[in-house]
């Protein structure tokens, strides 16, 4: 295929060249009706390029196959059999994939370290989950992806599931042994789905972790906006092999997706694919080299510990995306929450992730020596200022076993059951009716249908006091918990 093409961008250019006058949505009419104060902030071109996909970018019958051609080029670029675009983010794409694979069957095997979108998919679909518990690291207190042996044992215990869903890379950049997991799944005739939201860039450089499709996965979901150069909400499904019904996948995605997709998001994905095919290896090589320099210089600062080898070991994760730089700040006597807040307030630097002891900087092809110096200088200033910050509140960290809660109801049944809000002091032993998810990284501690454990509550309550954010529960401060009545 000719990867010099960019079908969406070229169709948008033709639209402007022909001088179309639209008597269709969007109602701002290429910005003419938009408030000038809005245009002053967003820019004229945002409105100018916000056109309909059908009866705008393409004709009424989509005879130009503009988006279809862009999807075919993306599939060819990464070596997939099929690619589908979504303008509703990977959260919706994951739900669509779950429905397509397990909706007719009713069950799915999934890593318990799944993103909150997986839990939402369980609630919407009514699927029964069987959980693979991740490898909890008692030293670092983070979850590593499950191993092939873990997946095999879970399939032995639940052999009738429709398929297996694994999250890799994790928000910390650690990656599962997908080759081994795919082999285990396929030996048992099960498709492997991978939530690879953080891995859109993986197909384009050999020094990055193995891309899910190359490892033998049947379907993966990738967010172009996370580690690529697309717009927020740009997401893709990639499919390879014959275990996934692509037509049914498309129908499930269509059922959940908007009927008014944003052409600008399509254009971002289309242009990023062309950039990666033509220049991606060179750009990613530079980004990886820069990340290595940043990691080395930060690790030399007093009180900071840059994690790398600790994240990749035989009993944890197989590979690491080294564009994610994870920094332990606990020796400074502060929490990751305090560090992230200080950097934003005093240096206008936004970190990608923070927890009770770490912050994470995500580097991409959009970074250079200038942004690297900003990061290094700002974190050096944080190290100097740390003595002046208050002593962080203690977070009660549960043991791995204490985080493995019993599922006693289907997530859907618990979420829609008659419920009540009870004081957190009386919530242990009750059946949870809501998600309770520290964000980031977005992995729920409590799920609808799980029996609430006291250690998990103590972790969340002390975490909130220390700066943890809980966007999901009815009471974000967790004074109360919503439980099945």
How do the pLDDT tens digits run along the chain, 485 residues long?
999 999 999 999 999 999 999 999 999 999 999 999 999 999 999 999 999 999 999 998 999 999 999 999 999 999 999 999 999 999 999 999 999 999 989 999 999 988 889 999 999 999 999 999 888 887 888 888 899 999 999 999 999 999 999 999 999 999 999 999 999 999 999 999 999 999 999 999 999 999 999 999 999 999 999 999 999 999 999 999 999 999 999 999 999 998 899 999 999 999 999 999 999 999 999 999 999 999 999 998 999 999 998 888 755 578 999 999 999 999 999 999 999 999 999 999 999 999 999 999 999 999 999 999 999 999 999 999 999 999 999 999 888 788 889 999 999 999 999 999 999 999 999 999 999 998 877 788 999 999 999 999 999 999 999 999 999 999 999 999 999 99
pLDDT (0 to 100) of residue 39:
95
Q: Which residue blocks in 171-301 are alpha helix, DSSP H?
A: 178-187, 224-227, 246-256, 263-299
Structure tokens at 466: 């220390």
pLDDT (0 to 100) of residue 442:
74
Give the CA diameter of the chain: 66
pLDDT (0 to 100) of residue 411:
96
CA pair distance 26, 236, nearest whole angstrom: 25
User: What class does CATH assign to 66-266?
Assistant: alpha beta
CA pair distance 387, 427, nearest whole angstrom: 37
Q: Are 161 and 129 in contact (CB under 8 A)?
A: no
| Exposure letters 77-100 (e unless 16+ CB within 10 A, then b) | bbebebbbbbbbbbbbbbbbbbbb
Contacts of 377 (CB under 8 A, 6+ apart): none
Provide the 10 A C-beta neighbour count for residue 459: 22
pLDDT (0 to 100) of residue 71:
97
pLDDT (0 to 100) of residue 318:
85
Residues of the chain with CATH 3.90.1150.10: 279-388
Q: Could you give phi then psi for residue 467, rounded to 5 degrees?
A: 125, 0
pLDDT (0 to 100) of residue 141:
80
Q: Could you give phi then psi for residue 270, rounded to 5 degrees?
A: -65, -45
Please say whether the structural domain 279-388 has been given the CATH code 3.90.1150.10: yes
Residues of the chain with CATH 3.40.640.10: 66-266
CA pair distance 207, 283, nearest whole angstrom: 13
Structure tokens at 50: 């916000």
Topology (CATH) of 401-484: Ornithine Decarboxylase; Chain A, domain 4 (3.90.100)
Q: What is the pTM of this model?
A: 0.94
Q: CA of 320: how far to CAs of 25, 198, 312, 317, 324, in Å? A: 45, 12, 7, 7, 8
Residues of the chain with CATH 3.90.100.10: 401-484
């Amino acid at each position: 295929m000719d990867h010099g093409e960019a079908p969406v961008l070229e169709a948008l250019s033709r639209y402007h060249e022909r001088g179309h006058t639209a008597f269709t949505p969007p109602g701002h009419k290429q910005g003419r009706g938009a408030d000038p104060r809005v245009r002053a902030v967003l820019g004229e071109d945002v409105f100018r390029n916000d056109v309909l996909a059908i009866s705008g970018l393409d004709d009424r019958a989509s005879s130009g196959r503009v988006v279809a051609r862009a999807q075919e080029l993306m599939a060819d670029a990464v070596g997939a059999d099929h690619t589908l675009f979504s303008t509703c983010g990977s959260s919706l794409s994951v739900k669509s994939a779950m429905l397509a694979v397990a909706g007719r069957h009713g069950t799915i095997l999934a890593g318990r370290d799944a993103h909150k979108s997986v839990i939402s998919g369980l609630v919407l679909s009514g699927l029964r989950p069987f959980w693979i518990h991740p490898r909890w690291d008692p030293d670092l207190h983070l979850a590593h992806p499950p191993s092939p042996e873990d997946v095999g044992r879970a399939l032995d215990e639940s052999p009738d599931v429709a398929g297996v869903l694994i999250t890799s890379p994790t928000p910390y950049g650690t990656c599962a042994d997908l080759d081994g997991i795919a082999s285990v799944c396929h030996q048992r005739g099960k498709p492997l789905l991978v939530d690879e939201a953080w891995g859109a860039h993986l197909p384009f450089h050999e020094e990055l972790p193995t891309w899910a499709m190359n490892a033998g996965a049947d379907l993966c979901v990738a967010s172009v906006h996370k580690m690529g150069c697309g717009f927020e909400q740009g997401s893709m499904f990639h499919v390879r092999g014959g275990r996934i019904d692509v037509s049914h996948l498309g129908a499930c995605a269509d059922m959940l997706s908007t009927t008014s997709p944003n052409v600008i998001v399509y254009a971002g994905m289309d242009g990023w694919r062309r950039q990666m095919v033509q220049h991606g290896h060179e750009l990613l090589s530079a980004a990886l080299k820069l990340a290595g320099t940043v990691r080395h210089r930060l690790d030399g600062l007093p009180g900071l510990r840059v994690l790398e080898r600790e994240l990749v070991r035989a009993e944890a994760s197989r590979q690491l995306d080294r564009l994610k730089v994870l920094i332990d700040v606990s020796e400074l006597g502060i929490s990751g929450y305090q560090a992230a807040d200080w950097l934003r307030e005093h240096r206008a630097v936004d970190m990608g992730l923070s927890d009770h002891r770490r912050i994470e900087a995500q580097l991409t092809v959009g970074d250079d020596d200038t942004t690297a110096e900003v990061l290094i200088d700002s974190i050096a200033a944080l190290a100097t200022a740390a003595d002046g910050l208050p002593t962080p509140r203690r977070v009660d960290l549960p043991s791995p076993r204490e985080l493995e809660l019993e599922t006693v109801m289907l997530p859907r049944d618990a979420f829609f059951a008659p419920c009540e809000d009870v004081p957190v002091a009386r919530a242990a032993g009750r059946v949870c009716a809501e998600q309770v998810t520290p964000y980031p990284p977005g992995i729920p501690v409590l799920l609808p249908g799980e029996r609430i454990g006291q250690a998990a509550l103590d972790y969340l309550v002390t975490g909130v006091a220390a700066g943890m954010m809980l966007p999901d529960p009815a009471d974000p401060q967790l004074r109360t918990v919503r439980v099945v009545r």
